Amino acid sequence: MLFSTRWPGNWAKCRLRRRCLSGAEPPQEQVDAALDKIPSEKRPKSIGVTLRLWLSDEAKLQSIVNIDYAPDVTHYHGHPRDTGITLRRLRNWAAKAQETRLAWELPQSGPVEERAIDFFDEILPPGSGERGKYELALRDCQLLKAALHIIFELQDERGRLSPLPWELLHDGRVGMGRGFLGLNYPVYRLPDSVSSFDQVTGHIQKALIVAADPTGRLTELDAEVDWLVAALKTAGVAQVDLRRPSDDDVSDPEAIKRLLRDGGYQLFHFTGHGLFDDDDPSKSKLVLGKFKERGKELTAAALAQVARESELILVFLSACQVGGEAEREESRPWQEAGIVDALTRAGVPATLGMRWNVGDENGRKLAQNFYTELLNGKSAEHALMLARQAVIEQPDWANPILTKRRGVL
């Protein structure tokens, strides 16, 4: 495991850091004096920990880890490390998380949490120089009152790593009742594909909200989209267009594609149902019309193609999987991020989707808390962390997946 660290140079700060490395906590007045010598414009607002992960030919997890005090740009140095973690072990852990997720109760989640700590320790071995620098980054965040952001860069063209619940890794610290990374730190996934978008930064000025209800059973749907329309307008979004289930063009995939391609939207929010294809993520679909109604579904591949031709910055998919409870439990929900994967590979700057069927109430709470924090100036990953905490008593806190590019939202 290899690190590079970068810091806007300051001798007083370097001395302070060396003092911290020795294990001795400096007096608060010394900390304040050292920090006072760092110009405010050079103090980082966040410290980034990026884990670049991929699989060897033997399906063992390889990694290079970077701790960066200027997280908009990350450089990797040295050689990769073989963590010894096999893909089979990771998949078994994901399966165990699925089996127990409906039975999770505070403050612990038993073997899922224990295995999450084991994996984190194998990626960042306790007592190693790498773990020491991770601990130092945590300490510097406290000193600088900065946020620690954790970024997973998954390099796997075959898509074997993206279905795994990396947000459930655990660094052994206890917070919010559980110490999972996704609950305690802003976490996102960094796509390994090159963006085809010219505009990957900017503000959301136009938004399209599409609400589809093929079952007629999404009782919280109207409340969710009405709240979102009002929130976006209050935040200063110039144009917010809403399509409800009763609108004629909602069930027409071509009409939705034209809106996205020609409407100049930076935000696309979809709430409704999805059909997920484990074998071919590009065939995953958003259901716009009635179930099994031909031609009323928007595939991930089609949506990704339209996204390439659009001005989209953020896509939020609050899409439930179709099927009864028993059918859902027998499926592989950790692998049901097909549409998110397709949009990410198409180059959408930021995509937020769900791993499994999200309940109406929890879906609404996640969306409302995420947008509230995002529109108040939080980064997308920070907003998502706070949204997870808002539903911590339900398994759906582990549901969302956020993939984004550096410097976006």
User: What is the pLDDT, as a whole number, of residue 296?
Assistant: 82
At 156 the three-state DSSP class reads: coil
Query: Are 215 and 291 spatial neighbours (Cβ–Cβ below 8 Å)?
Result: yes
Which residues, 6 or more positions from 261, have their beta carbon under 8 angstroms from its beta carbon? 306, 309, 310
pLDDT at 358: 75
Fold for the domain defined by 206-404:
Rossmann fold (3.40.50)
139-184: pLDDT as tens digits: 888 877 888 999 999 888 777 888 888 998 998 876 544 678 999 9
CA dihedral 292, 345, 66, 168 (to 10 degrees): 0
**pLDDT surpasses 50 at 10:** no
From the centroid of its chain, how far is CA 300?
18
Instruction: Judge whether 97 and 89 are in contact, CB under 8 Å.
Output: no
379: how many CB neighbours lie within 10 A of its CB? Answer: 19
Tell how strand 285-287 and strand 297-299 pair up.
antiparallel
CA 143 to CA 138: how far, in whole Å?
9
CA–CA separation, 69 and 48 (whole Å): 6
For the segment 44-49, the average pLDDT, to the nearest whole number, is 83
- The answer, yes or no, to whether residue 241 has pLDDT greater than 90, is yes
Q: Is residue 109 very low, low, confident or very high in pLDDT (cuts 50, 70, 90)?
A: low
Give the separation between CA 189 and CA 353, rounded to whole angstroms: 12
Residue 53 — very low, low, confident or very high, per pLDDT cuts 50/70/90? very high
Q: What are phi and psi of 303, to 5 degrees?
A: -65, -40
- The enclosing H or E element of 95 equals helix 87-100
> What CA–CA distance (Å, rounded) separates 54 from 59?
9
Buried b (16+ CB within 10 A) or exposed e, 15-25: ebbeebeeeee
* For the chain, domain boundaries: 11-190, 206-404
Amino acid at residue number 67: I
Report the percentage of the chain scoring pLDDT > 70. 72
Q: What is the mean pLDDT of the chain?
A: 77
Q: How many CB atoms lie within 10 A of CB 133?
A: 20
Alpha helices in 217-277 (DSSP H): 221-234, 253-262
Task: Write the pLDDT tens digit of every residue in 202-228.
Answer: 578 999 999 988 777 666 778 888 999
Q: Between the CA of residue 30 and those of 24, 40, 43, 132, 275, what are the distances in Å? A: 12, 17, 17, 22, 58
Whether residue 201 has pLDDT greater than 80 = no
For residue 107, cis peptide bond before it (omega within 30 degrees of 0): yes
Q: How confident is the model at residue 395 (pLDDT cuts 50, 70, 90)?
A: confident
Residue 342's alpha-carbon distances to 28, 39, 176, 318, 353, in angstroms, are 49, 43, 33, 16, 11
- For the chain, the first-to-last Cα distance in angstroms comes to 30
What are 334-354's pLDDT values in tens digits? 444 567 777 777 778 899 988
Cβ atoms of 196 and 206 within 8 Å: the answer is no
Residue 133 has pLDDT above 90, yes or no: no
> Computed from CA positions of residues 316, 318, 322, 326, in that sequence, does the dihedral angle turn out positive or negative?
positive
